[in-house]
Structure 1
Amino acid sequence: MKKSVVIIAIALGFSFTTIHATNDIVTSSTYETVTKRAVNPFCISIVKGDLDTVKKLIELGQDVNKKSNGLTPAMYAAKYNRLDILKLLVEKGAKLNVKSVKGMTAAKYAELSNAKDTLAYIKELDS
């Protein structure tokens, strides 16, 4: 009889606990949207200074004024001081006075990056 009373007491204890239990699990989550902007292979070749690849892509019909991630190929060449590539781009019709999405030209990118060779070349063309 004592065992029965103890078992019933334990069972009632569990049942009262589960009756009054609430499922108040608070989950707060924030989602952050990440936008990846990819630079096209043509501009990556310019940044790396790979003149042969740049020449080949131009031969295959790559537009020398097409923006990638808001910058023209000439802006990449100016920014990374790739003088030989910038000369090739200009020879193939690249426009140096086009503005980026931030409102800057190739000359401004060269100036901000302290790319003295490409900045001197651009100033030479402007005069």
Structure 2
Amino acid sequence: MLTRRAALLGAALAGAATWAVAGSYDDFFTAILRDDPDTITALLRRGFDPNTRDAKGQVGLVIALKEESHKAFAALMAARNTQVEARNAQDESPLMMAAIKGNEDAVKQLIARDADVNKTGWTPLHYAASGGTEQHLRIAVLLLENHAYIDAASPNGTTPLMMAAQYGSSDIVKLLLAEGADPTLKNRLGLTAVNFAQRVSRAEAAAQIAAAIRKRQPNAGAW
């Protein structure tokens, strides 16, 4: 009889523990979406793993940045065991998400925690170069100051300059060229940064890049 009662008690405790974990899981991601730092902090103090992934493989830091839940992001960053290099299913890092969102403060915090500025594949600089705001420009400057490789190639050979040519501001194009980006590079489809600008009718960006290419060419008739 005692053995059976012990077994029943053990099963009940296990069920309660499973329910508690499931409840904490839902509460955690709901708190991120609601930008509720108090609930996040309470869960982390009880031992909840801040690196837990949701059903789509997204980690809390990336979700907080994507949803612009700034207080939730701060609560997650306050946890020492939060992994700032945890990637989502698309291989996006928190630093990449902060860059595309133009969140300069988050970029600074992540770099201070040794987030990888030069991850392989798509990089934070690609994402920063895709933005058109003053914040994106400042983030691009910050990444370059922290040794971001200016001609980083994505899996299809696209460079940050190409992204800036099609999506970013003229100021970012100007910055990348001034800092030494190679305007002659081609991606795997044979497209240059000029082509990226031309296919969306960005005449100013195309002209900037074409001028940079001409500067690289030796003067005709030079001895």
TM-score if structure 1 supplies the norm length?
0.65
CA contact (8 A) 2:183 2:212 kept: no
Question: Equivalents in 1 of 2:123, 2:164: separation in Å?
Answer: 14
Q: How does 1:1-127 map to 2 (within 5 A)?
A: 36=90, 39-49=122-132, 50-70=136-156, 71-127=158-214
The structure with more radius of gyration: 1
Structure 1 vs Structure 2: percent identity of aligned residues? 28
Question: Equivalents in 2 of 1:42, 1:97: separation in Å?
Answer: 18
| Number of positions where the alignment pairs a residue of Structure 1 with one of Structure 2 | 93
Which 4+ residue blocks in structure 1 deviate beyond 4 angstroms? Answer: 35-38
Question: Equivalents in 1 of 2:191, 2:204: separation in Å?
Answer: 18
Give the letter aligned to residue 124 of structure 2. P
**How many angstroms does 1:95 deviate by?**
0.2
Question: Secondary structure at 2:176's aligned position in 1?
Answer: helix
Question: Equivalents in 1 of 2:194, 2:130: separation in Å?
Answer: 16
Question: Secondary structure at 1:48's aligned position in 2?
Answer: coil
Deviations 1:58-93 (A, max 9, x none): 000000001124200110111125211111111111
The equivalent residue for 2:39 is none
CA contact (8 A) 1:78 1:106 kept: yes
Structure 2, unpaired ranges of 5+ = 1-88, 93-121, 215-223
Question: Equivalents in 2 of 1:90, 1:124: separation in Å?
Answer: 10
C-alpha RMSD over aligned residues: 1.9
Give the letter aligned to residue 194 of structure 2. A
Question: Secondary structure at 2:195's aligned position in 1?
Answer: helix
Question: Secondary structure at 1:98's aligned position in 2?
Answer: coil
CA contact (8 A) 1:81 1:118 kept: no
Alpha-carbon distance change, 99 to 107 in structure 1, aligned in 2, over 3 angstroms? same
Structure 1, unpaired ranges of 5+ = 1-34
Deviations 1:13-34 (A, max 9, x none): xxxxxxxxxxxxxxxxxxxxxx
Instruction: Please say which of residues 65-74 and 36-45 is displaced more in the overlay.
Output: 36-45
**How many angstroms does 1:110 deviate by?**
0.6
TM-score if structure 2 supplies the norm length?
0.39
Task: Identify the structure with bigger relative contact order (alpha carbons < 8 Å, sequence gap 6+).
Answer: 1
CA contact (8 A) 1:78 1:110 kept: yes
